[in-house]
Each structure stands twice: as structure tokens, then as C-alpha cells.
Amino acid sequence: MNRPTAYRTLFIFCLSFFVLSGCTVGPDYKRPEEDIPQKWVEVSQGVSTDEPADAARWWTVFNDPTLDWLIARSMDANKDLKLARARVLEARAQRVSVASGLFPTLSGKGSYTINKESSTTSPASGASQQLSQMIPGYSASSGSNGGTFSNGLDLFQGELDASWELDFFGRVRRSVEAASADLAASQENYRDTLVTLLSEVSVNYLTLRGAQLRLVITKKNMEAMRQTVQLTQEKFAAGLSSDLDVSQAKAQLATTEAQVPSLETTVRQSIYRLATLLGSPPDPLVARLSEYAEIPGIPPEVPVGLPSDLLRRRPDVRRAEWQLAAATARIGVATADLYPRFSLTGALGQASMDLADITRSASSFWSFGPSFNWNLFTAGKVRAEIEAQKARTEQALATYEKAILTAIQDVESALVAYSKEQARRQSLVAAVESSQRAYDISSELYARGLVDFLRVLESQRALYVNEELLAVSEQQVSGNLVALYKALGGGWKL
């Protein structure tokens, strides 16, 4: 093929490529229509439907510098977060790799070989045939200057090879579309990991502070019980009570003392879990967090937005949607295998038996031509793969729809838990006040000999139980607020 003909062929193929580039097989992705509720069922006092002002930093509503520090450290060093970040980088690189298929590829190679003919074979055989194929004008019976040869022969060669798949039916473009969706899904997975991390750090911190509060309450009640034991011993020594009162007082004190090791274990285990979340050894945290601090309080009102906001705020919902988009694009990738693949290939190089002649125009050679590859018979394999990919897309759609329902359930459950626990806490506050008054009265009456010791024990036990329940409830209210922010998808910026 002469050069004008090659140029015309290249022009025709390029024109065909641009004309047919809009012919992309397979369905285009469209977000499914979902029936999202217009309002929350469990919105109650302390919750509003206003848009969260700073949902990306929701933990700051607790106004706890230690929690802020823990969150910051975990975002820098958590291992799960680093793993999710590395997967984003992998997906980004994979997309670049796939997108490279849209462009021509160019490779270069060079070689030096020395050839020697066999003296017992025809000069047109062996190395001479190879040289005649590689070097235009070379004769199998003559050297480069027309002379015969029988000794070794040098060959210097440099070559550039190019190929370009003409994406007539959109196989590569659909692959890029799927890889882009995979990248977006990996980014949402990173955000989902971040949301989970912030929740786990906050919950473990609240568990730590709750256990410390219960430990303080237990030790305070132990001191009161020791005073009760001393009082019963004095009255028994004076003949004003029986040994039964002393034994009962000691038994109640011992039962309360038995709670201390369990609470101390909870404190240490919470610190160790926080250390793992922060990606650090536990020693520094033990020194920093072992000292008692109050459970962080809650704000007077929590803005939660509307149910429709979940589609853009929840990373797991967004991830499921991108996975659906990727599966849809791969239907087109599979469908493109029904059609032929067209390519342009070419080569350009220099070859000479004398290194000094390698740059001469007479040493140049080139080739160019179109090609195609078409699977004419695969025993139904291609169509089966298309159907399989359609089934995968149906699975991705069901996963997406379930993610939306799960998100709504999570928020409604968190809302009702947050609201009802606040009501429970208010009742426990009243119960503690009444129990404290009952204990004070019964203790005074017992000291005067006006009531038996059983009344004192009952009131003392009731006070301890209600104080501990109140401490657990205060921790649970704050924990339910954390669960609410997690359900809303807070912890990252739109």
C-alpha cells in the first residue's frame, strides 16, 4: 500500500470512529424513583426538622475537649480509615488504567543481532529469509551492497509500534463509566467508614465516662454503707439491736463492693478500645483518661432535616447507588461483545546491517492497516454473560432499595430511643430525689430507735439502684444522640 492510499484509509477509519462514537450499546443509568416519606414519624420535643448546621462536626455539640481530641486523633491514625483510603487510591488508579483504552498505545523496541548462514543449506533459508522480510530490498543471495556472504552478518533495528481500538460500540466507554462509578463507591465507602469510626469513638468514650460515674456513685454508697455498719455495731454493743442488723449491713456493703472490679474493668476496656480506634498503644490513653470526668451533656434541640436528605447524606445509600450505576454500565460492556472490535495498527522503524546507515531513508520501513476481531460463535457465552450482568444489576437495585429502607429505619429508631430515654431520665431524676429523702428519713428514725433496720436497708438499696440507673440513663441519652447522628450520616461534608 502506497502512502496516499494509507492516508486515505486512516482518514476513513478516523471519520467512521467519530461518526459511530455515539453508538454506545447498553442502558444508560437513571436513578430509580423511590417513595421517600415527607416527614419523620418520631419527631418529638428536643428535635427539629431544620437542616443540620454543622453535621460534619456533630460531636462538637457535646462541648467536650477530650472527645474532640479523640476524634481528631482517630481521623489521622485509625487503621480501618487508612485501609478505606488506600482502596480509594486503588480505584482511582484502576479508572486511569481503564480510561487508557480510549487512546492509542505506542511502544518502542530496538535490537542488535548477528546472523551466520549455514554452509550446508540454501542461502535463501534461515537468517537470510528473516532479513529479507525485515529489510526492504534485501536479497537472500546477496549482502547489503550486493555481494555474496557466508560469514556472520550484523543487523541493527529500531521500531515504533502503535495500536488503537476504535470504540465503535462503546465497550471501552462503558468500562470507563463503570470504573468511575466504582471509584465513587469507594469514596462513599471511605465516608461510611469515617461515620462508623466517629460513632464508635464517641460511644466508647461515653461508656468510659458512664462507668466512671457509676464507680463514683458506688464508692459514695460504700462510704454511706460503712457508716451504717458502724452504726449497727455501736447499737448492737449497746444492746439496742441484734446481730442480725450488723450482718445485713455488712452483706449489703459487700454486695456493693463487688461492683467495683466490674466497673473498673469496663473503664480499662473502654480505654483499650479507644486506643485501638486511635491506632495507638494504650499506655498514653490510660494516663490521660483514667481520671474521672462527667458524661458530656446534650444540646437543647437537635436538627435532623427531612427524610429526603438521607439520599445525599448517608454514605451507605450513596455507595449502593454508585454500585448500581457500575452494574448498569457493565451491561453495556457485556453487550459490546456481540459486535466486532475494530483496531488500527501500525509500525515505523529503521533497520540496517551497518550502524552508520541506520538513519538513512533507505533503511526505513513502515506498515499500517486496520483489523477487526469478531466472536462469530461462542455457544451462547456472550448472551449468557449479558443476562448474568442484568441479574447483577437487579441485585444492586435491591441492595440500593434496602439501603434506603434501612436508613429510614435507623433514623426512626434513633429518634424514638433518644426521645424515650430522655423521658426515662427525667423519671429517674425524680426517683433519686425521693429515694434520697426516704433514706435520710429512715436513717434518722433508726438512729432514734423508731423504725427497724430493714427500713434503712430497703431505702439505702433503693437509693443506690436508682442512682446507678440514672447514671446509665445519662450515658444512654448521649449515646442515643450519637446513634441519631450516625443514622443521619453525619461526619463528612457534602
Report the run of H or E that residue 109 belongs to, with start and end. strand 105-115
Residue 156 has pLDDT above 80, yes or no: yes
Sole residue written with cell 462527667: 294
CA dihedral 315, 320, 326, 327 (to 10 degrees): 170
Report helix, strand or coil for 348: strand
Cβ burial, residue 181 (10 Å; 0-12/13-18/19+): buried
Taking residues 103-125, what's their average pLDDT?
73
User: How many Å from the N-terminal Cα to the C-terminal Cα in the chain?
Assistant: 58
What is the dihedral sign for C-alpha 29, 34, 38, 44?
negative
Q: Give the 3-state secondary structure of residue 383.
A: helix
DSSP-assigned states of every residue in 272-288: HHHHHHTTS-SHHHHHH
pLDDT value at 151 more than 70 = no
CA distance 110 to 132: 18
Pairing of strands 302-303, 47-48: parallel
Question: Please, are residues 253 and 229 in contact by the beta-carbon 8 Å criterion?
Answer: yes
Mean pLDDT of the region 427-456: 89
Compute the average pLDDT of residues 466-484. Answer: 95
Helix (H, G, I), strand (E, B) or coil at 25: coil
Q: What residues does 364 pair with on adjacent strands?
A: 350
- pLDDT single digits (tens) 377-386: 888 888 999 9
Q: What is the pLDDT of residue 161?
A: 86
- The Cα diameter of the chain in Å comes to 138
Lowest mean pLDDT among 358-372, 399-413, 432-446, 452-466: 358-372
Considering only 123-137, 298-312, 356-370, which range has the smallest mean pLDDT? 123-137
223-246 pLDDT, tens digit each: 888 888 888 888 788 777 788 888
What integer pLDDT is reported at residue 107 of this predicted model?
A: 86
In whole angstroms, what is the distance from residue 80 CA to residue 224 CA? 46
13/7 Cα distance (integer angstroms):
10
Q: Sort 8 into a burial class: Cβ within 10 Å, 0-12 / 13-18 / 19+.
A: exposed
- What pLDDT is stored for residue 198 in this prediction? 96
Q: Grid coordinates representing 34? A: 423511590
Q: What is the mean pLDDT of residues 84-102?
A: 93
Q: Which residue has the cell 445485713?
A: 248
Instruction: Compare 95 and 450 and report the one with higher pLDDT.
Output: 95
pLDDT tens figures, 304-363: 888 888 888 999 999 999 999 999 999 999 999 899 988 888 888 888 887 777 878 788
Per the structure block, which three cell numbers stand in for 395? 441485585
DSSP characters over 210-269: HHHHHHHHHHHHHHHHHHHHHHHHHHHHTTSS-HHHHHHHHHHHHHHHTHHHHHHHHHHH
Burial of 266 (0-12, 13-18, 19+ CB in 10 A): middle
Whether 18 shows a pLDDT value over 60: the answer reads no
What pLDDT band is residue 135 in, cutting at 50, 70 and 90? low
Residue 133: pLDDT over 80: no
pLDDT in the model for residue 210: 96
CATH number of 25-102+169-339+381-487: 1.20.1600.10
Cite the DSSP H helix spans in 291-358: 310-313, 315-335
Cα–Cα distance measured from residue 367 to residue 369, given in angstroms and rounded to the nearest whole number: 7
Q: What is the mean pLDDT of the chain?
A: 85
Residue 181's closest CA among 333, 397, 329?
329
Contact present, 18 and 272 (Cβ < 8 Å)? no
pLDDT at 147: 41
Band of residue 4 on the pLDDT scale cut at 50, 70, 90: low
List, in sequence order, every residue forming a beta bridge with 111; answer none if it has no partner.
Answer: 157
Q: H or E element: which one contains 156?
A: strand 153-166
3-class secondary structure, 136:
coil
Query: Cα angle at 449 between 443 and 451, to 5 degrees?
Result: 65
pLDDT of residue 186: 97
Q: Who contacts 492 (Cβ-Cβ below 8 Å, separation ≥6)?
A: 56, 191, 194, 195, 315
Q: Residue 348 forms beta bridges with which residues?
A: 160, 366
The residues pairing with 343 across neighbouring beta strands, listed in sequence order, are 165, 371
Task: Say which residues have a Cβ less than 8 Å from residue 365's Cβ, sequence separation at least 6.
Answer: 134, 135, 136, 347, 348, 349, 350, 351
Supply the angle between the helices 65-77 and 79-99 in degrees, to the nearest 10. 40
CB atoms within 10 A of CB 290: 13
Average pLDDT over residues 75-104: 93
Please list the residues that pair with 303 across neighbouring strands: 48
Separation of alpha carbons 262 and 267, rounded Å: 9
Q: How far apart are CA 271 and CA 114, in angstroms?
A: 73
136 — pLDDT class (breaks 50, 70, 90): very low
CA-CA distance, 192 to 185, in Å (whole number)? Answer: 10
